[in-house]
Each structure stands twice: as structure tokens, then as C-alpha cells.
Structure 1
Amino acid sequence: MPNNRMRYSSVEMLQGAFSQIGEYEFTQSAPGRLDALVTSTAIGGCLVYGSRVDRSLVITGQRPADCWTIAPITAECADGYYRGSQLDCGDLLLLDPAGEVFQHFRPGHSQNVISIPLPLAQRIIQAEHHALPEEIWGQWRVKSDPRVSLELDGMLRRALAAQGPTSVDGHSEDEFAGRVIALIQSSCASEHPRPGVVLRQRIVARAQELIHGRLENPPTITELCEVSCCSRRALFYAFQSLLGRSPGAHIKMLRLHEARRRILKRRHQRGIQQLAFELGFKHPGQFAIDYARTFGESPSETGGYAGPSVCIETPQRAILQSAVA
């Protein structure tokens, strides 16, 4: 299938695109309008996609339950963090289906990823490698193997560059998933997440649930500690480790992004101050200042900006649905 290229100028548009394949929430940590490019293609029943962003982003949520996702880490996406672990050039990130997402990108982050449908991956692993699939994808992990990481990234780049049904590296498309899995299985031993990392994920997940339920009346640090069953120090360390933010900064960012979504939804209506009050911002002037610092524009400018994404080639929705169907 021909590749698809989409450019997005806001986190809302980017989140909307990825919501077709998983439950994700995107927030940006640096001011200014986002410039994000997403390229994707369906090959051999798999979805291959690449992304490039010019702003620091934090992503939380949950991956789809029907796919096994693998990401090679190159120099263009190293120094990012996934679930509190810094990713180094040469790593391979193997992501568990339906797993929680806690990730933050630095400006200039560029990465290629492949998602393999579980029935296809299960068949290949059992038939070709005589292994139990759940032991391979049951838990997220990191492998450090620069040779394999570089080779896999090259395969994904060539797949994204191909136009129309064709062979990739001299092999048929139907063999693509098998070649990827064989490459992963030939790599070095994995590093599984340490118990402390798992505990930090649990702390942030519990806190996030309370925060999202009370954006209009944000919880205090005491309440977050109570719901997460942890100390103040552990709470701050978990948030900084997984999201690169303090709990207070993260709450503020989530509320500002929710305000932006509501402004865009009510674009042709008045009442930005009323909207700010609804979200618990008691001082309209400070709200406007914080908003401009975050998004590089005032709330009223957002209200007058339509900002559609730019489709450079084929529709994003069609290619995503065809790849995961």
C-alpha cells in the first residue's frame, strides 16, 4: 500500500490521529505551535509508522491490545524516556500489548515503529521459533543491540519509502513480519523493568486517574499521596521519572490542554473567561499568561484558528484502519 504522510500543527490533531490505534493523551511541554510529521504504511498485515516532532511532548495512555509494537532506538530518538527508563542509541523497545504508556519526547524526536497483529506474531513465534508468545510479549522490555536496532530501523525506513505493492529488500511483503521477529529473536538478552519502575508506574497511574476525574477541582498533593499509597517524596520522584514533570506541573498542563480542547470545540462561541472558571482557573489574567507560555498564542487566537491537518498523500484514517483490521 502507498505510504501516507500527514502533518499536524497541534497536539489535539496528533492525538486525534493516534486515537485510531490506541488510547493516548498528548501534552506539550514547550511553547509554540506544534509541527509533527507522521508517515505510515501497511505491509504484510503490519502497520509501520514514523513520526517527527519539533516540541517536547509527554504521552500517556494505553496501547492497543491486538498488536505487538517494536521500536528501534536510533540517535534521532535516543535520550527520550519510556516508563522512567532512558533510551539509548542501539536499544530495542519491545512493548507489551495493552500496556500503559508513560513516555516523553525531546524536541527533534524522530522514530520509526512497527506494530504486528498478535495472531500473526503468535503464529510466527510458535511455528518458526518454537517459543511461547506470552513469554516474549507479556511484559515490556528493552534489548541493547546496536546492530539489530540499526538493521531494523533500516527495514522500517525502506518500507516507509516504498510506493505501492512491492518487495522490500528483495523479499515479499508477506515475509516482512517474520523477518522482523527473526531479527528480534537473534538480538541480545532483554533487560526487564526493575521492581522500582513498576511501582512508580502504579503510583502515577493511580494519581492520573484521580487528576482526570477532577480537572475542574484539582486534587492536592496530600490527596494524590493518599490515592497512590505513597509518600510525597515517592510521588514526586515517580512523576519526574516517568513524565519529566512534578505532579503540580502535570496537573496544570492537563488543565491547560483541556482548556484548549474546549476553546477549539466552542470556536464560534464567546466566553473564554467562563471556560477558564469552569476548569478552576480563578484568575483569568494568569490563565491567559500560562496559556500563551504553553501554546505560543493567546486563548482568543486559538478560538479563531481552524488549523486543519495537512494531508500530503493518502488519508490517515484509511491506512491506519487497513493496517489494524
Structure 2
Amino acid sequence: MTPLQDTARFLVHARDPQEQASSFGLLEQSYEQLSPGRFSGSFFAVSANDITVFQETLDQSVFQTGVSDPGHFTIATACELSEQAYWNGRHIDQDTVVAFTPGREFELRTPTHAVCVGISLAPSALQSLAPERSPEHWQKIFADHDCWSQADRLKGALQRRIAQLLQADAGTAADWADELLGLRELTIDYLGSVIERGDNGAHKLRVDSYPRIAKRARAAMLERLHEPLSVTDLCLQLGCSRRSLQYAFESIYGQNPVAYLRTLRLAAARRLLTSGNPDVTVQDVAGTVGFNHLPRFAQAYAQMYGERPSESLAAHAPRTGRRPAG
């Protein structure tokens, strides 16, 4: 067995959804905060060569979209969930494992409290399941079968070893490598048993078209953030009924279409306010994301993120000594 090198360990405490999203470099992803209040999250990871184990904690509901890294195969499961989550067309719970297959798009909604653990491997590691099969074969298997039940065996091992790694001294890199090698072998054995069992423990949405409707509606909203947009407008553009649109959003985003449109607008506003651009003003941002009434925008923003727009702008402004107005 090849010894592991380039061992690294890091811990991030985030106060912004996008800061949290960028902390895991193996997923190109974006986080939209859905529940109101100050964001709080953390991300801990230990890696060596092509193995990474991680634990993520979120204390606000977020909708995650992104693409998995082409060079890694990642699986994750929840240790704590305040309620059901959503994953690629299905509702999932703490007994579910999800697979981020290389280069594939994903959608994940987590509730107001979630603690997840996971492991990332090189796709070539899956070849030991059957050496005559290519890594692409296993990627296709898990792309078609990207969630399943009975997480306890893997979850228990990940939880125990991640807890040990969190408490480990910085000088014990050799011990970290041994732990990671052990987890890699356990994970591959576990995936072999999943393939043999061939089950799927997630709860499929009642209507197959809901993910498609919600995805198209979200794209339309993002294109028209700056202009007035009603449920009627969306239904006419998508060619769907109001009831279908409503059920699709409740199932996938946990919000009705009007509330989710506001979430998207506020998320876009936060990205602009925290961009560090010295020319940005609160009033300009409000108009850019479709809020024509500045006090109403300020109130909605503060309710969502726990701080005023001017506070977000000031916290990320270039250090010129000038304070932003608004």
C-alpha cells in the first residue's frame, strides 16, 4: 500500500454562506441562505494525497447547487438533521448516504440545523471493487444510483475518526495518514456492499416533473432579478399550472415561489455588498436586485442576514477610511 504524503488539516468557521461554500475545494458550489438570521457554519477536513475526510456544520437552511470535482468521488451522510433534506429529486434523512459523482451537477437543500460527514476519494480507488472494470463504469453506477439507505456503518466510523482528528495535535501527521488509509478501505468495502444490496432508501418526490419545473423557474428568476416578476408570469413562461409551481417549490426549496424569489434577490444583494467594490452603494444594489423601496430592502436584508446592508458593505469595503452611507 502506497504511503500517504502531503497531509493537511484545516478548520474554518464561517459567518457567510458563500464563505462556507468555498471552504470545500472539491465541490464547485454556491450556497443560498433560505432561513432568516445570522449565518453560522463550520468546515473541518483532513486530507492526504487523494483522500479527504470532512465534517460540515450548518445552522441555517441553505440551498446548495454546484458541480462535483472531476477528479474526486465524494460520499456524505448526515449525523444531525432538524428535519428532512432534499437531494437531486428526493427527500432524504439521517439514514441516507448521497454520492457526488465526478463532474456531475447536484442540488441539495439542508434544514436549519445539519451536521454532515463525508469522504472523497480518487475515482481510480473504486477499481478495486472489480479490477476488470474502468473507473468510468463505477462513476456511471453511482451517477444513476446517487443515494441509498443504511448509513450507520459508514457514518459511525467517520464520526469516531473525525472526532479523533479534530482533537489531534498538529504534529501527528503520520497518525492522520493511517486513519485516512483505514477509512478509504472501509469506504470501498462499504460501497461494494451497497452495489450488492442495490437498494434506494430516499423518498422520491410525488411528481417526477417537480425538479424540472423548479430548476426552470429558478433559472427564469435569476435572469429577471432586476424586474417585477409574478407567479402568473412564471407560469406563462414555463407553461405550468400555479399548483404545480407551488408544490414544486415547497418540495424542493421548502418555500413558496414568492418567498424564494426574495431569497434569490437578497442573496444576489449580499454578493454585491460583500464584493469589496468601492463603487457599490446600498441604493444601487437594491435597485439592481429588484427592490424599488430602499427601507423595505434594508428591512428584508436585516431579517435574513442579521445585519443591515450598510454593515455588510462596511465590513468588506476597501480600507480607505470612508464609511458607506445607507
Q: Does 1:80 align with 2:85?
A: yes
Residue 301 and residue 147 in structure 1: after superposition, are their counterparts in 2 closer, same or farther (change >3 A)? closer
Q: Please, which of 178, 181, 184 is the counterpart of residue 188 of structure 2?
A: 181
Q: Which amino acid aligns with 1:181?
A: I
Q: Describe the superposition over 1:151-197 as per-residue Cα deviations: whole angstroms up to 9, x where unpaired.
A: 343365257435543356x9574464332021132244321775856
Corresponding residue number in structure 2 for 1:259: 269
What is the Cα deviation at residue 254 of structure 1?
1.0
Q: Please, which of 275, 283, 286 is the counterpart of residue 276 of structure 1?
A: 286
Residue 78 and residue 128 in structure 1: after superposition, are their counterparts in 2 closer, same or farther (change >3 A)? farther
Q: Which amino acid aligns with 2:13?
A: R
Q: Does 1:36 align with 2:41?
A: yes
Specify the SS of the correspondent of 1:301: helix
State the alpha-carbon separation in 2 of the partners of residues 151 and 136 from structure 1.
25
Once structures 1 and 2 are overlaid, which stretch shifts more, 27-36 or 286-295? 27-36
Contact (CA 8 Å) 1:268, 1:303: kept in 2 or not?
no
- Compute the TM-score of the two structures, normalised by the length of structure 2: 0.80
Q: Please, which of 281, 294, 303 is the counterpart of residue 313 of structure 2?
A: 303
Q: Please, which of 43, 64, 67 is the counterpart of residue 62 of structure 1?
A: 67
Residue 212 and residue 160 in structure 1: after superposition, are their counterparts in 2 closer, same or farther (change >3 A)? farther
Percentage identity across aligned positions? 23
Contact (CA 8 Å) 2:53, 2:162: kept in 1 or not?
no
Residue 21 and residue 95 in structure 1: after superposition, are their counterparts in 2 closer, same or farther (change >3 A)? closer
Specify the SS of the correspondent of 1:73: strand
Structure 1, unpaired ranges of 5+: 308-325
Q: Which amino acid aligns with 2:173?
A: P
Instruction: Map 1:1-325; keep pairs closer than 5 Å.
Output: 1-18=7-24, 20-43=25-48, 45-76=50-81, 79-121=84-126, 123-127=127-131, 132-154=137-159, 157=162, 160-161=165-166, 164-167=172-175, 173-174=180-181, 176-187=183-194, 188-191=197-200, 194=204, 198-217=208-227, 219-266=229-276, 268-269=278-279, 271-306=281-316
Q: Describe the superposition over 1:81-139 as per-residue Cα deviations: whole angstroms up to 9, x where unpaired.
A: 32353323332223333333322222331111112222333x22332999941453122
Q: Which amino acid aligns with 1:7?
A: H
State the alpha-carbon separation in 1 of the partners of residues 128 and 82 from structure 2.
29
What is the Cα deviation at residue 6 of structure 1?
0.9
Superposed CA RMSD in Å reads 3.1
State the alpha-carbon separation in 1 of the partners of residues 33 and 216 from structure 2.
22
Q: Which amino acid aligns with 2:211?
A: Q
State the alpha-carbon separation in 2 of the partners of residues 267 and 33 from structure 1.
23
State the alpha-carbon separation in 1 of the partners of residues 76 and 113 from structure 2.
17
What is the Cα deviation at residue 36 of structure 1?
1.1
State the alpha-carbon separation in 2 of the partners of residues 128 and 179 from structure 1.
21
Q: Which has the higher contact order (CA 8 A, sep 6+)?
A: 1
Once structures 1 and 2 are overlaid, which stretch shifts more, 232-241 or 143-152? 143-152
- Compute the TM-score of the two structures, normalised by the length of structure 1: 0.80
Contact (CA 8 Å) 1:259, 1:275: kept in 2 or not?
yes
